[in-house]
Amino acid sequence: MRYGIYFIPGPGSLSDLATSWLGYDILTGKTAMRSEIMTELVPDLDVLTAAPCRYGFHATVKAPFRLMPGSSVSQLQEALEGLCLRLSPVSLPGLTVREIEGFFCLVPADDSESVRAMAAKVVQELDSFRAPLGDEEWKKRMEKNLTAREQVHLIRWGYPYTMEDFRFHMSLTGPVAGQTDREEIRKLLEVYLYPACGQPLQIDALCLVRELEAGARFELVRRFAFGGQAA
């Protein structure tokens, strides 16, 4: 079993559109009804969204990890709750569709140092609950073309894209092959998500999620609201 710390948008236009696109609602753990128009426009939508569907619509704050022997999920929840009570909400002015390494996701329209600082605090304060990477996990990560700094993060934190290399993003597709296909998917997503992307996004809570077994869909364990004053 693995646990992760996610930001998951609450109910609203963004959540509705994204979960319908992915076909899975991580907040309820249930299949989401897909738009007939989208399934007609993208016949291979199931294949295109297979990877992000398993993780649910979210932004990773602390990547999935196995619990350190001797640690319990109740202890992890207690620590996360206490941390969230000390965190202050951060507002993003809007989101935009972007391609990262061949897949599409939503990212902040403007870079937010406040979000990066929040994520770093979560990674640092909860890292004692993370068991070291296994041989297969380590091999899988190292197969990617990591920078020297990303390799250092992988060794120290068990995940390469953290601290200075943290990228707040909410995945919408798996890899899309072909420049023409990527351009078509990008335009489609921009139109589909337009009603929500221009709206401010409030990051005011974090969610503990779990993967019951390898390859299973992630599901919500508990949501923890921030207790500090809005930044």
pLDDT in tens, 32-87: 988 888 888 888 899 999 999 999 999 999 999 999 999 999 999 999 999 999 99
Domains of the chain and CATH, by start: 2-112+169-225 (3.90.1140.10)
pLDDT computed for residue 204 by the predictor: 95
CA gap 2, 66 in Å, rounded: 5
- Helices 73-86 and 113-126: crossing angle in degrees, nearest 10, is 150
The DSSP result for 142-183, as a single string, is HTS---HHHHHHHHHHS-SS-GGG----EE--S---SHHHHH
Is the pLDDT score of 201 beyond 90?
A: yes
Integer angstrom CA distances of residue 87 from 104, 186, 187: 29, 34, 36
pLDDT in tens, 122-143: 999 999 999 998 888 888 887 7
Tokens of 35: 């738009």
Query: Which conformational region is residue 218 in: left (phi greater than 0), alpha (psi within -120 to 50 degrees), or beta?
Result: beta
Is the pLDDT score of 216 beyond 80?
A: yes
Is the pLDDT score of 160 beyond 60?
A: yes
Q: Look-up: residue for tokens 């197969």?
A: 143
CA gap 172, 158 in Å, rounded: 24
Average pLDDT, integer, range 118-124? 96
Average pLDDT, integer, range 3-23? 94
pLDDT computed for residue 230 by the predictor: 53
CA gap 17, 23 in Å, rounded: 10
pLDDT computed for residue 122 by the predictor: 97
pLDDT computed for residue 231 by the predictor: 47
How large a percentage of the chain has pLDDT more than 70? 97
Q: Would you place residue 228 in the very low, low, confident or very high pLDDT band (cuts 50, 70, 90)?
A: low
